[in-house]
Structure formats: structure tokens, C-alpha cells
């Protein structure tokens, strides 16, 4: 897995914190994995990612909405 993240985002894969040194290339086994990204003041992003053998899946967390975002109707 590879992550595109704003500064200060913490990433968990299958419940384990991804070290900052591994954000650009985090090794996972083939199959489906749970990913959670959290940054103070923003809504967490949670998703499932399926990875095939030899594949690199990239997850982009730029542009996540802030917690107290309001929308105008």
C-alpha cells in the first residue's frame, strides 16, 4: 500500500498503526484490508482495500472534509 496524506494523518491497516517511515510503501499480504486514516479536526476515513499479488494500491486522503463542515442548501 502507498498513501498520499496531508501532514499529521495517522494511518492504521488492519488495526495496526503504520509507521511514518512506511507510508510510501507499506507491505501487506494479498487480500482485503481495513484502512483507517485519522487527523485531529477531521472526520476519519475508513475503507476496505483489496490488494492483488504484486500490486501496489495507492490511497489518497487529501481533501477530507473537516468535522464541523456545514453545507448550504
The distance in angstroms from the start CA to the end CA of the chain is 38
What integer pLDDT is reported at residue 73 of this predicted model? 44
Look up the pTM and report it: 0.75
**Res 66: pLDDT:** 55
pLDDT recorded at residue 65: 55
**Whether 39 contacts 67, CB under 8 Å:** no
pLDDT at 50: 92
Task: Dump the DSSP string for 17-38.
Answer: EPPGGGTT-----SEEEEEEEE
pLDDT digits (tens, 9 = 90+) for 24-53: 889 999 999 999 999 888 888 899 999 999
b/e for 51-66, b at 16 or more Cβ within 10 A? beeeeeeebebeebee
Adjacent-strand bridge partners of 35: 13, 47
Amino acid at each position: 500500500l502507498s498513501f498520499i496524506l496531508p501532514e499529521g494523518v495517522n494511518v492504521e491497516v488492519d488495526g495496526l498503526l503504520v509507521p511514518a517511515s512506511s507510508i510510501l510503501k507499506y507491505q501487506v499480504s494479498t487480500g482485503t484490508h481495513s484502512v483507517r486514516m485519522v487527523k485531529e479536526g477531521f472526520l476519519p476515513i475508513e475503507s476496505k482495500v483489496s490488494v492483488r499479488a504484486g500490486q501496489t494500491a495507492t490511497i489518497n486522503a487529501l481533501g477530507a472534509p473537516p468535522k464541523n463542515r456545514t453545507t448550504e442548501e
